[in-house]
A and B are shown apart, each in its own frame.
Chain A
Amino acid sequence: MRVTILRTTSLGALLAVALVLPAFGQGGVDRVDSNTERLPLHTVIPDYPEVARRDRVEGSVQVCFNISRSGYPRRIAVRHSTSRVFEKIAKKAVRQSTWKPLPDGEQESGIKACRTFRFSLVPVTRDEPD
């Protein structure tokens, strides 16, 4: 299985946070942003679900979550999904991932981070190794 991870630069992360900050405190405002300044420590890559591979189903899932001070994801939820078959495994991958703990004195941002998982199938020739 081939795996790719795309990340924004830290500057991009800070900019994204700044764009969301004015919305704090407003009732009903969705405080979701799709990236975070928190540094990933251990990123779990989900396996392609066997049923989806068998049925040739491709798709994407965006999972959003908070990151605790100690670096563990909290309040994990699917925000967008093209196929339910990928949702459980994407949430599990986030649940098992960790981020660098915040140093003492630094405040938690409270902003949700989001991670999008894209599942795709690439045609191969018979002789090509998996």
Chain B
Amino acid sequence: MKIRHISYWVLLVTAFLLLASPELAANEESKVVIGPRNALLADGANALLAGNGVEGVRLTLRGLEMAQGEVERKMGHSNLCAGYILIDKPRTALPHCNWVLERYPNHWRTYNNRALVYLRLERFEESEADIARGQELSPSSRNLKIAKGMLLDETDPVRANVEIDERRSAMEDASDDPPND
């Protein structure tokens, strides 16, 4: 099965989590926090961003062991969900995606990642359901649009066709067709 551009948008999802970490730490406590509180989680996210899936997963697993609070655990599992997809271990990724969604059923990024897992496992109906749920939560998400395109390429592949018409009434001919936009 061909799955294109998978690493690109998995990384976009992890990027958000990395950037969020210092801010979240600062919000939870009434003191100035410089840098991320859980450096291993942050380094793991950095490694995933750099495309180093193995190192990203290793650091994230270590960061998760010493995670303090639900927010850090959520980050850890969400990044592991993405990281294991990156290193082509969808079966290992799935429980981490499920962990996040059982506790945070409105986390559209994890629906996006789990849809990828299901796609990789050829569980197309579940992938479609996760994309639909994610799009309910984040209708304009580019990641989810890409995921949907990948799913359609697997379930309903198409060939692109371009026709150039220089006839007199070319556009009127075309307007007989029902709009598909």
Q: Which residues of A contact B (CB under 8 A)?
A: 1-8, 12, 16, 33-36, 43, 45-48, 53-60, 62, 79-80, 82-83, 113-126, 128, 130
Please indicate which of the listed interface residues B148, B152, B168, B169 has the most CB atoms of chain A within 10 Å of its own CB: B168
B180 touches A60 (CB 8 A): no
Query: Contacts A48-B160, A59-B180, A60-B171 given; 12 further ones with Cβ under 8 A?
Result: A3-B163, A6-B165, A7-B166, A34-B168, A48-B162, A53-B160, A55-B149, A57-B181, A115-B164, A115-B165, A120-B162, A121-B159
Is A59 a contact partner of B166 (Cβ separation < 8 A)? no
The interface of chain B, by Cβ under 8 A from chain A, is 145-146, 148-149, 152, 156-171, 174-175, 179-181
- The reply to whether B162 and A8 form a contact with Cβ atoms under 8 Å apart is no
Contact across chains for A62 and B181 when beta carbons are under 8 A apart: no
Shortest Cβ distance from B160 into chain A, in angstroms?
3
A74 and B167 CA atoms in complex are apart in Å by 20
Residues of A within 8 A of B167 (CB): 6-8, 12, 34-35, 116
Shortest distance between the CB of A95 and any CB in chain B (Å): 14
Measured in the bound complex, the distance between the Cα atoms of B166 and A16 in whole Å is 12
| Shortest beta-carbon distance from B174 to chain A in Å | 4
Measured between beta carbons, the chain B residues less than 8 angstroms from A48 are 160-162
B170 touches A34 (CB 8 A): yes
Name the one of B146, B159, B164, B179 contacting A117, with C-beta atoms under 8 angstroms: B164
Q: Is the CB of B181 within 8 A of A59?
A: yes
Q: Closest 5 interchain pairs by CB?
A: A54-B149, A48-B160, A116-B170, A121-B158, A60-B174
- Contact partner of A116 among B146, B156, B164, CB < 8 A? B164
CA of A71 to CA of B75, assembled, Å: 60
Residue of B nearest to A16 (CB): B168
- Nearest residue in B to A45 (C-beta to C-beta)? B162
Contact across chains for A122 and B161 when beta carbons are under 8 A apart: yes
B162 contacts A58, CB within 8 Å? no
Using CB atoms, name the residue of chain B closest to A97.
B164
